[in-house]
Amino acid sequence: MAKKDSPGYIAGFALGVCLVCSLGVSSAAIFLKDKQDENAKVDKQKKILDVAGLVRPGQQLSNSEVQSLFEGRLVPVLVDLDTGEVVTEAPDGKTAAEFDMMDAAKARGVPPVANEAKIRFQPEVGQLYYLVDDKQQVKKIILPIEGYGLWGFLFGYLALEADGETIAGITYYKHAETPGLGGEVDNPNWKGSWKGKRAFKPGDPVPAITVAKNASGEYEVDALSGATITSRGVTNMMQFWLGENGFGPFLQKVRESGPPAPPTSKGGA
């Protein structure tokens, strides 16, 4: 029997502890995966409800309350990104409620044209959300947005009024920007400064909204102090997702004749 202070015993004991801990962590990850996925889904739904103006600042909702409110007021919509037409299902047969835009983009593996937002893959179909009232009239359009900042990609949502050009809100649910600098994309005051700004100039399909130092007018939002690269990244993602390679063709149709009638089914994430 090895002595407890011998190198062999110490190494064996350390290995045993590592094995037990790794098994514990692996088991926890496996057994909690469904719960983690559900929490991630609900967190996105909370962000959509927030940018849609359905949740008051500081309001606490349970997961079931979030899902109930989300399914009652948000309608997922699939859009052909080339034509801007609303479609009933994705190329893989998934409905709007089943579709995951990021997974579809990665599975397709087709890079978009060169873009400053550094988007790596582009799906054929995009998913957005309609905020509807009790008469199924579209009140707002919620678009997913993503783009590269200083340290990595920022993922969030942009809300537009039903005219397809007036900004109703912005929020991010995932990013790695520096707290106090680029991380100020989470600051309620900065997010609030987007409300009422205009994404497009009359008759111009090119996105006009920018994040700029000493912003003035309805097409500019104040840059984040000390976060030039993050601010530029936000502008770049606006140019991409509101432009011809993103939801631009769809938004052009909205500005010309209003939002296409929403599908009858609700839900999704």
Q: How many residues does the chain have?
A: 269
Question: How much is the pLDDT for 24?
Answer: 64
Question: Whole-model pTM?
Answer: 0.85
Are 155 and 176 in contact by the 8 Å Cβ rule? The answer is no
Please report the pLDDT score of residue 242 as a whole number.
Answer: 98
Residue 107 lies in a domain: yes
d(CA 170, CA 235): 13
* 26: pLDDT strictly greater than 90: no
The amino acid occupying position 125 is: V
Give the count of domains, the chain: 1
pLDDT of residue 60: 87
Residue-number span of the structural domain to which 54 is assigned: 49-257
Interval 88-131: pLDDT, tens: 999 999 999 999 999 999 998 888 889 999 999 999 999 999 99
Q: Is residue 84 part of a domain?
A: yes
Is residue 213 exposed (0-12), middle (13-18) or buried (19+ Cβ within 10 Å)? exposed
Q: Is residue 78 part of a domain?
A: yes
Greatest mean pLDDT among 48-57, 171-180, 256-265 lies in 171-180
* Residue 2 within any structural domain of the chain: no
176, part of any domain: yes
Question: Would you say residue 7 has pLDDT above 90?
Answer: no
Helix (H, G, I), strand (E, B) or coil at 2: coil
30-74 pLDDT tens trace: 655 556 667 788 889 999 999 999 988 778 899 999 999 999 999
In a domain, 183, yes or no: yes
Whether 67 maps to a domain, the answer reads yes
Which residues, including other chains, have CB under 8 Å from residue 9's CB and lie 6 or more apart?
Answer: 2, 3
Domain annotation covers residue 154: yes
HEC string of 60-80? CCCHHHHHHHHHHHEEEEEEE
Gap between the Cα atoms of 62 and 66, Å rounded: 6
